[in-house]
C-alpha cells in the first residue's frame, strides 16, 4: 500500500477484492502470497504522446499501458482516452480486468491503457494524429499473442481504426492485435453491443434466480455511450422500461420510457454528431433534462450504472434503497463505491458487480480473437448465443463460489473468489515469476 500511496482508485479496487477474499485466505494461507504478487503489475509502461493540433501547435499527452497479469493468456483490456486518466485509474481498471477476464473462461490475461487526451471538441484529423502518435510508441509492447488492447471510454470504432492503421504500418503485419475492429476488416458481430447486452443478460439471470423479471420494470441507466446505449436496447428487447440516460452534463428523464425511436435519436446524437444529451430536449416534448445530476433519485425498480467509476456514492445508494430499487447491475467499471455497495447488501438488493456484469464486452473481444485466429467470421446469432451462455455461466459461477464459502447469494464476493482462484492456481503452477 505504501508503494502505491495516493493511487486512490487502485487502492479502492484492491480493498474491495481483498475484503471479499478473506474467507479464501482463511481457508488456505498460500493465497495471501499470490495476492501480494497479483497487486504488482507485471509491467507498467508510461510514455510521451506528442502531436500537432489543427492550429499547428504542439500538444503533449501522457500514454499508459499496464500489463497486469498474463497468468491466463495474452494481456487483454481496453484503452481509455479521458482527461481524468492517470496511473491509478489505469491500474484499477487493469486489476479489475484480471478477475473479469478470468470469469469469462476464455484464455485472456489482463491489461488496460489509455491517455489523458480529451477528444471533446477535437477534429477527426486531430484524433487521428493523436492515435497515430500513441500507437507509434505502444506498438512495441503489444501483439496478437502478447497484448491485445480494445476500446473503452472515448475509444470507439473511429479510434480503433486509426490505431489499427498505424499499428499495421509500423509492424508490417495485418493481425488481430486490437479488438473492436470494424466488421469489414476483422471485427466481430455483436462486439459493439456486447457489454450492454451482456449486462442485461446478467441481470436477467439474477432476476430468474430471484424468481422475478425485468419485463415491465422501470430501469435507470446512466451514461449514453457504448455500454449505456446497448443496455437500453436490450432492456427494450426484454420489455423493460428504461427511463433515464446521462452524460457528464446531466441526465434525461423520459417519464413514460425511452422508446426505440428515442434511442435511435440518442445514438445518432452521441455517435455521429458527438453532441450533448441536453440537445435531446430539441427532439422530445415529454422529457426533462436535469443538469449536473445523476439519475439515482428517480423512482425505479432497477439501476444500470453505465458511465464511469464512482458515480454511485453512499447517499445515492440510500436514496435508491428508500425508493425500493431492487437491483443494481454495473455496466461501468467500479461505478459504486464500497460504502454504496454495503447499503445495497444491507437492503437485500440484487447486486451485479462490474467485473461480472460487464464482462460481456471482453468476452466477445475474446471471441473476436478466436475468429481472427481462424480467419473466419461467425454469424450474429452464434456470437449472441455464446455471449448469453457466457453471462449465464458467470452468474452461476459467482453464485456457486459464494455458496461454497458459505456466503449465501453474495454474487459480488462470489465473483471475486471465482475470478481469483483460477488466476491464483495458474500463477502457482507457473512458479514465482
Work out the angle at residue 118's Cα, subtended by the Cα atoms of residues 117 and 123, and round it to the nearest 5 degrees. Answer: 105
Catalytic machinery residues: 112
Distance CA 35, CA 383 (A): 34
C-alpha 56: how far from chain center: 35
Count CB-CB contacts under 10 A for residue 211: 6
| Nearest to ligand NDP of 31, 119 (CB atom) | 119
Q: Which residues contact 348 (CB under 8 A, 6 or more apart)?
A: none
Stretch that binds ligand NDP, among 182-190, 282-290, 327-335, 343-351 (CB under 6 A): 327-335
| Nearest to ligand NDP of 205, 306 (CB atom) | 306
Question: What is the DSSP code string of 232-287?
Answer: HHHHHHTT-EEEEEEETTEEEE-TT---HHHHHHHHIIIIIS---GGGGGGT-SS-
CB of 277 to ligand NDP, least distance (A): 7
Q: Is 247 in the site for ligand NDP (CB under 6 A)?
A: yes
Distance CA 235, CA 225 (A): 15
Write out the binding residues for ligand NDP, residues 137-176 only, by CB under 6 A: 151-154
Helix, strand, coil percent content, the chain, rounded in steps of 5: 50, 15, 35
Q: Which residues contact 73 (CB under 8 A, 6 or more apart)?
A: 101, 106, 107, 108, 109
Please classify residue 104 by burial: count the beta carbons closer than 10 Å to its beta carbon, then call 0-12 exposed, 13-18 middle and 19+ buried. buried
| Nearest to ligand NDP of 165, 250 (CB atom) | 250
Reduced to 3 states, what is the DSSP secondary structure of residue 66? strand
Q: Is 333 in the site for ligand NDP (CB under 6 A)?
A: yes
The three three-digit cell numbers of residue 417, written as one number: 473468489
Distance CA 270, CA 253 (A): 17
Q: Which residue is nearest to ligand NDP (CB)?
A: 225
Number of residues that bind ligand NDP (CB under 6 A): 23
Q: Is 336 in the site for ligand NDP (CB under 6 A)?
A: no
- Binds ligand NDP (CB under 6 A): choice among 41, 361, 366, 414: 361
| Nearest to ligand NDP of 24, 263 (CB atom) | 263
The three three-digit cell numbers of residue 112, written as one number: 488496460
| Nearest to ligand NDP of 3, 273 (CB atom) | 273
| Nearest to ligand NDP of 247, 301 (CB atom) | 247
Residues in the chain: 433
CB of 290 to ligand NDP, least distance (A): 13
Distance CA 113, CA 95 (A): 12
Q: Are 251 and 245 in contact (CB under 8 A)?
A: yes
Q: Is 266 in the site for ligand NDP (CB under 6 A)?
A: no
CB of 276 to ligand NDP, least distance (A): 7
Site string for ligand NDP, 23-62 (x = CB under 6 A): ----------------------------------------
- Location of C-alpha cell 445518432: 268
- Location of C-alpha cell 444491507: 346
CB of 211 to ligand NDP, least distance (A): 28
| Nearest to ligand NDP of 195, 336 (CB atom) | 195
Stretch that binds ligand NDP, among 62-70, 233-241, 325-333, 418-426 (CB under 6 A): 325-333
Q: Is 68 in the site for ligand NDP (CB under 6 A)?
A: no
CB of 190 to ligand NDP, least distance (A): 11
Q: Which long-range contacts (CB under 8 A, 24 or more apart) does 164-169 make?
A: 165/132, 166/131, 166/132, 166/135, 166/136, 166/139, 167/135, 167/139, 167/142
| Nearest to ligand NDP of 23, 250 (CB atom) | 250
- Binds ligand NDP (CB under 6 A): choice among 242, 331, 352, 366: 331
Write out the binding residues for ligand NDP, residues 181-210 only, by CB under 6 A: 195
Site string for ligand NDP, 289-318 (x = CB under 6 A): -----------------xxx----------
CB of 22 to ligand NDP, least distance (A): 26
Q: Is 352 in the site for ligand NDP (CB under 6 A)?
A: no
- Binds ligand NDP (CB under 6 A): choice among 227, 263, 367, 399: 227
Q: Are strands 75-81 and 147-150 parallel, antiparallel or unpaired?
A: parallel
Q: Is 332 in the site for ligand NDP (CB under 6 A)?
A: yes
Residues of this chain that interact with ligand NDP (CB under 6 A) are 82, 84, 151-154, 195, 223-228, 247-248, 306-308, 331-333, 358, 361
Amino acid at each position: 500500500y505504501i508503494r502505491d500511496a495516493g493511487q486512490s482508485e487502485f487502492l479502492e479496487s484492491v480493498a474491495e477484492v481483498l475484503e471479499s477474499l478473506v474467507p479464501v485466505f482463511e481457508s488456505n494461507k498460500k493465497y495471501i502470497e499470490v495476492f501480494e504478487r497479483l497487486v504488482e503489475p507485471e509491467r507498467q509502461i508510461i510514455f510521451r504522446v506528442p502531436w500537432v493540433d489543427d492550429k499547428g501547435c504542439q500538444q503533449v499527452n501522457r500514454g499508459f499501458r499496464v500489463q497486469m497479469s498474463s497468468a491466463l493468456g495474452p494481456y487483454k483490456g481496453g484503452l481509455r482516452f479521458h482527461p481524468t486518466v492517470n496511473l491509478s485509474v489505469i491500474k484499477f481498471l487493469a486489476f479489475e480486468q484480471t478477475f473479469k477476464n478470468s470469469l469469462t473462461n476464455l484464455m485472456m490475461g489482463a491489461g488496460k491503457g489509455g491517455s489523458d487526451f480529451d477528444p471533446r471538441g477535437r477534429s477527426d484529423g486531430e484524433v487521428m494524429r493523436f492515435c497515430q502518435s500513441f500507437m507509434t510508441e505502444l506498438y512495441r509492447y503489444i501483439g496478437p499473442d502478447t497484448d491485445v488492447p480494445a476500446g473503452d471510454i472515448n475509444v470507439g470504432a473511429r479510434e480503433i481504426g486509426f490505431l489499427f492503421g498505424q499499428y499495421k504500418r509500423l509492424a508490417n503485419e495485418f493481425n488481430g492485435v486490437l479488438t473492436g475492429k470494424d466488421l469489414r476488416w476483422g471485427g466481430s458481430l455483436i462486439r459493439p453491443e456486447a457489454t450492454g447486452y451482456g449486462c442485461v443478460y446478467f441481470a436477467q439471470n439474477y432476476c430468474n434466480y430471484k424468481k422475478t423479471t425485468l419485463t415491465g420494470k422501470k430501469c435507470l441507466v446512466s451514461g449514453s455511450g457504448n455500454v449505456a446505449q446497448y443496455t437500453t436496447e436490450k432492456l427494450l428487447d426484454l420489455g423493460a422500461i428504461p427511463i433515464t440516460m446521462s452524460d457528464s452534463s446531466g441526465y434525461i428523464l423520459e417519464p413514460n420510457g425511452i422508446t426505440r425511436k428515442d434511442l435511435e435519436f440518442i445514438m445518432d446524437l452521441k455517435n455521429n454528431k458527438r453532441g450533448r444529451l441536453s440537445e435531446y430536449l430539441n427532439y422530445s416534448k415529454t422529457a426533462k433534462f436535469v443538469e449536473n445530476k445523476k439519475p439515482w433519485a428517480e423512482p425505479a425498480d432497477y439501476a444500470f450504472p453505465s458511465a464511469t467509476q464512482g458515480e454511485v456514492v453512499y447517499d445515492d445508494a440510500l436514496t435508491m434503497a428508500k425508493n425500493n430499487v431492487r437491483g443494481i447491475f454495473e455496466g461501468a467499471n467500479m461505478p459504486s463505491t464500497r460504502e454504496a455497495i454495503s447499503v445495497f447488501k444491507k437492503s437485500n438488493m440484487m447486486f451485479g458487480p462490474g467485473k461480472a456484469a460487464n464482462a460481456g464486452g471482453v468476452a466477445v473481444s475474446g471471441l473476436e480473437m478466436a475468429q481472427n485466429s481462424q480467419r473466419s467470421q461467425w454469424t450474429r446469432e452464434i456470437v449472441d448465443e455464446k455471449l448469453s451462455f457466457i453471462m449465464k455461466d458467470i452468474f452461476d459461477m459467482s453464485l456457486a463460489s459464494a455458496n461454497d464459502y458459505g456466503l449465501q447469494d453474495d454474487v459480488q464476493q462470489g465473483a471475486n473468489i471465482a475470478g481469483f482462484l483460477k488466476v491464483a492456481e495458474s500463477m502457482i503452477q507457473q512458479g514465482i515469476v
